[in-house]
Amino acid sequence: MTNRPLHPFPVAARRDVLLFELANSEVMIVGCDSSGGVGPKPLDTIKVDGYTLGKFTARAALMEVLAVGATPVCVVDTLSVEPEPIGTEILKGIRAEAEKAGLDPKLAVTGSTEKNFAVEQTGIGVTVIGTCKRGDLRIGTSLPNDAVVALGVPSVGAEVIQAEKDGKITDVTDILKLRNLPFVHEVIPVGSTGITHEIETLAHDSKLKFKLAEQDEIDVHKAAGPATVALATLPLSKVDDLKRAASKPVTVVGTLF
């Protein structure tokens, strides 16, 4: 009997996550997100409170890991701000998102702050580590003739806060719902690269091509900020079922072939 080495080794860099093979057919998935110049500091370009910043940055990283079928095991935050008061407020937002993803916010969130120097502009990074069985990975699982559906409306910068209030952007609970629907083949969050780029990613991973749909409901070339949209692939016959199950706007944006 041959035992695997205790240390993980790389499988691939896919989408915006890294995959590492572990023992017993387990795979470790690492995702991350960052933000700079957004927050309550004097030199920040976009002014938001610390809680909101932490929430959205953690949300984007968690959604990347959840979308591939993994279960998050921990969240690591690197905060380029002082511990009090801003660091604590950011951490509250991170912990709130971690809890939505099923983690214990007191045990599964760790990180660091800047304790030596005064900071005039906010910087933050969040890394999420998760695991899943290799056979449960949902990368490259889309099928020919699948519809590509956008859940949510692309939003960026100052638009994000109002869009969330209006129920127009995706979150962790939407990703969990999508991946639990039996007719959904694959899920991918959309961030700053926009919908068209992520449709290309879906098609490439499944060795398919794509055609954009003729629609004027959302801009498929616009940046989607901190993962304000999620794409799902599914049979065209199931789109109405998804619309009934979803609480966010649903738009058919393309087809795979």
Q: Which domain holds residue 47?
A: 9-136
The rounded percent of the chain whose pLDDT value lies above 90 is 91
Same-domain check for residues 171 and 234: yes
- Considering 136, 158, 175, which residue would you say is the last residue of a domain? 136
What are the percentages of helix, strand and coil residues in the chain, rounded to 5?
30, 30, 40
**Which residues, in sequence order, are CB contacts of 103 under 8 Å at separation 6+?**
72, 73, 74, 75, 109
Task: Compute the distance between CA of residue 108 and CA of residue 99 in angstroms, rounded to an integer.
Answer: 9
Query: 55-80: b or e for each residue (b if 16 or more CB lie within 10 Å)?
Result: bbbbbbbbbbbbbbbbebeebbbebb
Give the closest residue to 249 by CA, choosing from 225, 221, 229: 229
Residue 4 belongs to some domain of the structure = no
> Is residue 251 a contact partner of residue 150, using CB atoms and an 8 Å limit?
yes
Model pLDDT for residues 209-249, shown as the tens digit of each residue: 999 999 999 999 999 999 999 999 999 999 999 999 999 99
**What's the pLDDT band for 10 if we cut at 50, 70, 90?**
low
Q: How far apart are CA 14 and CA 204, in angstroms?
A: 11
Give the rounded percent of residues in the chain with a pLDDT score beyond 70: 95
pTM surpassing 0.75?
yes
* 198 & 242 share domain: yes
CA distance 92 to 226: 18
The pLDDT tens digits of the residues spanning 12-66 come to: 667 789 999 888 889 999 999 999 999 999 999 999 999 999 999 999 999 999 9
One domain for residues 27 and 115: yes
Take residue 100 and report the two structure tokens written for it. Answer: 């939505």
Flag whether 3 is in a domain.
no
20 - beta bridge partners?
10, 28
Element (H, E) at 173: helix 172-180
